[in-house]
Amino acid sequence: MTAVEPQQSVRTGVLEGRPVNLDGFVEEWPEKGLVAMESDFDPAPGIRVEGGRVVELDGRARADFDFMDTFIADHAIDVASAEESTAIPSAQIARMLVDPGVSRGEVLAVTRGLTPAKILDVVKLMNVVEIMQAMQKMRARRTPANQAHSTSARDNPVQVAADAAEGALRGFAELETTLGVVRYAPLVAIALQVGGQVGRGGVLTQCALEEATELELGMRGITAYAETISVYGTESVFVDGDDTPWSKAFLASAYASRGIKMRFTSGTGSEVQMGNAEGRSMLYLEIRCILMAKGAGVQGLQNGSISCIGVPGAVPGGIRAVAAENLVASMVDLECASGNDQSFSHSAMRRTARLMPQLLPGTDFVCSGFSAVPNADNMFAGSNFDTEDYDDWNTIQRDLQVDGGLRHVREPEILQARDRAARALQALFAHLDLPPVTDAEVEAATYANSSADYPPRDVLADLKGAQAVMDRGVTGLDLVRGLETTGFSDVAQNLLQVLRQRVSGDLLQTSAVLTADFTPLSAINDANDYAGPGTGYRLSGERWEELKKLRHVTSAEDPEREVG
């Protein structure tokens, strides 16, 4: 060995050690769909309507439609305006989206007639600032909100109850859980529901499971909403999953029949991940998913790449495409839970940059799952943000005067809510003859950070208990009754109010959430009215006072004191 290896500079060595270099990056491969949104293989926009029926869509004649084309043509596109809207130059539609002088309603009158390729053609013209400007106007609900994951690496229901209570207190409008061991689901779903109603009444909860079980828990009133209904942008991926657009639409109607809030899930990258992108860009296929959701009549969509975020994150322009897909959901009048819910990067700077197009303009739910547990407890495989990011998040809200849906809460309030959630669960489990929650577990729940801080539970007994919940036909009303009987009347009342919403059906409106006093806020009664500077949702008044609070703020009056 005589050749001298070229030496690496100290600076390069430092750069190599930065977390961003642990992220995976790949070259584009447009022929296989490994490309974000700028692909020569995407079809050109076009539509032809004959006799009230779409006969040609984006260059394909009806005889050649795949089932996505058929579904979108027959259910998602307004045939009355389609030819006229699709003929408007894309640059003009993009300008309408950005221009605060054009109302949201005027934009919707155009977008409801657009084809998938036309929508892509419009958003491809927009840079990320323009996408954000458009999102500010196009999101359905005026007031932004946030959503959290509350899970446990040990599927410990006591932990889930306590963390749900804290999450509710910190401001999340929706909480979702899932399981390591699926059979645990009934107990954990109950814990989430109870904990959520302790922190603040009106928090909506869901348990992400295989679809039939998820539907059953919803129908029983053990959960309040659902969003784990995946749709895909190509026929081949749908077929691989033994599904069709019609089967998903049927499932959606099953939820709607019981007044249960529901949205679909999709996102860039899933088709290429499954090897069946059919040579189309990720965003083009995602637009097909968005229109499929629209056509199925569901009120919303969880998108923003979701569990395939590693794929758009790895290709050039991918995060811009993710911001664009959120915008497209909003611009066809769907609720948008905008992602930021899966581990995305090793780099703190990149994690934050990926968030900005959702946090700054505000979306219906900024995260589709901020991890309200430490990431190691996150059974959705880790979130872009977790409990360690609470103070940073609160500080960013304060710095930029933006509403990311959270607030700082002082520790005594948190401890009280956690303790009460664990006690309510203890009482309810005893009432329902489920495996006991010990006082030691309540104590642990009050002060814990992660699942490792709890005494282990008797897993086999819990699994039997979980099965008993299903066998005995326990419903949401049984939970209300149990909480009322055991002295947790306020929690019982809160849960009853959430169940009553099933009957009124208000939660079926686009982008519906419940305030702490159970007023539904949705695109109907809290419609986004952004129309330029000084209009729309502004962070002011009581909410702004709330967001000014951080863990450490020096008192102006007495600099030797901290106010919180």
Partner 1 sequence: MTTAAPGRTLTLRETGPATRGTRPDEVVVVVSPAFAGSFTKTIVDVPHAEVLRQLLAGIEEQGVTARVVRVWDTADLAAISHTGAKLSGSGIAVGMLSRGTTMIHQRDLPRLSNLELFPQSPLLDAPVFRQIGSNAAQYAKGESPQPVPTRNDQMARPRWQAKAALLHLKEFECIRAGQPPVEVEPVFGRAG
DSSP of 106-136: HHHHHHTT--HHHHHHHHTT--HHHHHHHHH
C-alpha distances out from residue 347 to 2, 344, 352, 397, Å: 39, 9, 9, 20
- Minimum distance, C-beta of residue 172 to partner 1, in the bound complex (Å): 20
- Find the part of the chain contacting partner 1 (CB under 8 A) among 94-102, 341-349, 479-487, 504-512: 341-349
C-beta atoms surrounding 293 within 10 Å: 29
Q: How far apart are CA 331 and CA 325, in angstroms?
A: 10
Q: Which of 174, 176, 364, 419 is catalytic?
A: 176
Told to judge if 197 belongs to the known catalytic residues of this protein, a careful annotator would answer no
Q: Work out whether the CA dihedral 98, 102, 107, 108 comes out positive or negative.
A: positive
- Find the part of the chain contacting partner 1 (CB under 8 A) among 27-35, 252-260, 419-427, 543-551: 27-35
Per-residue contact track with partner 1, 262 to 301, x per CB under 8 A?
A: -------x--xxxx--------------------------
Told to judge if 176 belongs to the known catalytic residues of this protein, a careful annotator would answer yes
178 touches 152 (CB < 8 A): no
- Find the part of the chain contacting partner 1 (CB under 8 A) among 4-12, 59-67, 82-90, 336-344: 336-344
Interaction of residue 242 with partner 1, rule CB under 8 A: yes
- Minimum distance, C-beta of residue 126 to partner 1, in the bound complex (Å): 24
What amino acid is encoded at 461 in this protein?
A: A
Phi, psi dihedrals of residue 493, rounded to the nearest 5° = -60, -45
Q: Residues, the chain, total?
A: 564
What amino acid is encoded at 29 in this protein?
A: W
- Minimum distance, C-beta of residue 338 to partner 1, in the bound complex (Å): 18
Told to judge if 368 belongs to the known catalytic residues of this protein, a careful annotator would answer yes
Q: What is the CA radius of gyration of the chain?
A: 24
Q: Which is nearer to partner 1, 29 or 246 (CB)?
A: 29
Interaction of residue 343 with partner 1, rule CB under 8 A: yes
Q: Strand 47-50 vs strand 53-57: parallel, antiparallel, or unpaired?
A: antiparallel
- Minimum distance, C-beta of residue 19 to partner 1, in the bound complex (Å): 9
Helix (H, G, I), strand (E, B) or coil at 49: strand
Tokens 């949104």, located at residue: 37
Interaction of residue 381 with partner 1, rule CB under 8 A: yes
Helix (H, G, I), strand (E, B) or coil at 395: helix
Nearest to 477 by CA among 462, 498, 460: 498
Per-residue contact track with partner 1, 346 to 375, x per CB under 8 A?
A: x----------------------------x
Q: Which of 338, 358, 368, 371 is catalytic?
A: 368
Q: Which of 39, 58, 136, 149 is catalytic?
A: 149
Q: Which is nearer to partner 1, 24 or 487 (CB)?
A: 24
Sheet holding 147-149, edge to edge: 204-207, 174-177, 147-149, 370-371
Interaction of residue 25 with partner 1, rule CB under 8 A: yes
Count residues near partner 1 (CB under 8 A): 33
Tokens of 484: 């009322």
Interaction of residue 62 with partner 1, rule CB under 8 A: no
562 touches 426 (CB < 8 A): no
Q: Which of 85, 147, 230, 342 is catalytic?
A: 147
Q: How far apart are CA 199 and CA 222, in angstroms?
A: 17
Q: Which is nearer to partner 1, 150 or 375 (CB)?
A: 375
Told to judge if 227 belongs to the known catalytic residues of this protein, a careful annotator would answer yes
In sequence order, what are the residues at sequence separation of 6 or more whose Cβ sits closer than 8 angstroms to the Cβ of residue 457? 154, 156, 158, 435, 441
Site for partner 1 in 300-329 (CB under 8 A): 307-311, 313-315
Per-residue contact track with partner 1, 170 to 199, x per CB under 8 A?
A: ------------------------------
Q: How far apart are CA 271 and CA 507, in angstroms?
A: 31
Helix (H, G, I), strand (E, B) or coil at 351: helix
Q: How far apart are CA 429 and CA 427, in angstroms?
A: 6
Q: List the one residue from 29, 246, 250, 447 that touches partner 1 (CB under 8 A).
A: 29
- Minimum distance, C-beta of residue 425 to partner 1, in the bound complex (Å): 26
Interaction of residue 23 with partner 1, rule CB under 8 A: yes
Interaction of residue 392 with partner 1, rule CB under 8 A: no
In sequence order, what are the residues at sequence separation of 6 or more whose Cβ sits closer than 8 angstroms to the Cβ of residue 18? 347
Q: Which is nearer to partner 1, 273 or 416 (CB)?
A: 273
- Minimum distance, C-beta of residue 500 to partner 1, in the bound complex (Å): 38
Q: Which is nearer to partner 1, 275 or 487 (CB)?
A: 275
Q: Which is nearer to partner 1, 133 or 178 (CB)?
A: 178
Told to judge if 147 belongs to the known catalytic residues of this protein, a careful annotator would answer yes
C-alpha distances out from residue 201 to 96, 300, 369, 515, Å: 39, 23, 19, 8
Q: Which is nearer to partner 1, 80 or 376 (CB)?
A: 376
Catalytic residues: 147, 149, 176, 227, 302, 341, 368
Binding site for partner 1 (CB under 8 A): 22-26, 29, 32, 34, 240, 242, 269, 272-275, 307-311, 313-315, 342-346, 375-376, 378, 381-382
